[in-house]
Structure 1
Amino acid sequence: MAEEGQMNYKMLALIVVLVIIITGVASFTFFTYFSVSSDDKNNEKEITSIEDIRPTYNAGDYTVNISNNNQINFVRASIVFELESTEMVKELDKRSAQIRDRIISTLRAQNEEILKEPGANTIKKIVKDKVNEILISGKITNVWFTELVVQ
């Protein structure tokens, strides 16, 4: 009988150890699976945001005297356009003189509040609208100032 009691304790100890091992393996698998799948979702979101970037076009550098303003003498800007498609690059190259003229006229006509606005959102919208007026094959979706100096 003493052997049967020891046998039951050994069997019980073996079952407890197996349950602990199985629980550990199941927990490890569960957490590994869900942590990898959430990383995949984050990577998919990053890839989507990278794919959302459209083609760009460097519209050039501009140094413009400001008309009708006593405090600001000039604006220096470097402008980049975000385009709907790459096919628009040919049209922008053809119309580069017209685009430069529109941008220069637009910058010259602005007042101090618009030019010194944080983020320059108003002037970006104005430049985008003025240039889009002359485009045929598509539209500019965004305007970025890579340099904007107002003095």
Structure 2
Amino acid sequence: MFRNKMLNIVLILIIAVALLGIVGIVAYKTVFVPTAGNEEEKVPTAAELLKSQFDIGKMTTNLAGNALIQATFSIQGDSVDTMNELDKRKAQIKDIINSVLHTTTQADIEKPEGYQELKVRLVTEMNKVMLEGKVTDIYISDIVVQ
């Protein structure tokens, strides 16, 4: 390359240090710094879910048409603050559930996707009135439709 041996050694050392630096930076970014795409969503434990779950209890009301529904509702919120607000708005939440159920027919619920559509409608309507946090899910148990 060059006739001066010392210059050759210095150039080789500079190139080697630069390559080591680049390899080090790449290794650091891929191993030590997690990216948004690699983060796994944390699944809440049963105890965490229980802290942010609000029970409405058993409700009986008419559906659109001549049908009657009796079901137990539990609301899942995103925080403890949401639970406090749901407690304060319990009467309003019950009214929302009644309003949605009064516009739902028995056939709507009995469709394969009807149960899930009902849950989505309930969550959407509840979130319209929430100021502190939001409702993430609603669990309907002990459901009887006549």
Fold match by TM threshold 0.5 = yes
Q: Percent identity?
A: 26
Task: Please report how far the alpha carbon of residue 100 of structure 1 lies from its aligned counterpart in structure 2 after TM superposition.
Answer: 0.7
Report if aligned partners of 1:116, 1:150 keep a CA contact under 8 Å in 2: no
Task: Please report how far the alpha carbon of residue 121 of structure 1 lies from its aligned counterpart in structure 2 after TM superposition.
Answer: 0.4
Report if aligned partners of 2:67, 2:105 keep a CA contact under 8 Å in 1: no
2:59 paired residue number: 62
Q: Which amino acid in the other structure matches residue 64 of structure 1? A: T
Task: Please report how far the alpha carbon of residue 66 of structure 1 lies from its aligned counterpart in structure 2 after TM superposition.
Answer: 2.2
Partners of 1:133 and 1:109 lie apart in 2 by 18
Partners of 1:50 and 1:134 lie apart in 2 by 25
Kindly report which structure 2 residues correspond to 1:101-140, keeping only aligned pairs within 5 A, or say none.
Answer: 101-118=95-112, 120-140=115-135
Partners of 1:103 and 1:139 lie apart in 2 by 16
Partners of 1:148 and 1:118 lie apart in 2 by 15
Structure with bigger helix share is 1
Report if aligned partners of 2:76, 2:136 keep a CA contact under 8 Å in 1: yes
Structure 2 residue 74 is matched with structure 1 residue 74:
no
Task: State the Cα deviation string for residues 8-48 of structure 1 (Å, max 9, x = none).
Answer: xxxxxxxxxxxxxxxxxxxxxxxxxxxxxxxxxxxxxxxx6
1:91 paired residue number: 85
5+ unaligned residues in a row in structure 2: which ranges? 1-41
Q: Which amino acid in the other structure matches residue 65 of structure 1? A: N
Task: State the Cα deviation string for residues 29-70 of structure 1 (Å, max 9, x = none).
Answer: xxxxxxxxxxxxxxxxxxx64538532111221100123x2x
Equivalenced residues, count: 101
- TM-score, length basis structure 2: 0.62
Task: State the Cα deviation string for residues 62-87 of structure 1 (Å, max 9, x = none).
Answer: 100123x2xx4201111111110011
Partners of 1:88 and 1:96 lie apart in 2 by 12
Partners of 2:86 and 2:58 lie apart in 1 by 15
Structure 2 residue 141 is matched with structure 1 residue 149:
no
Partners of 1:61 and 1:130 lie apart in 2 by 19
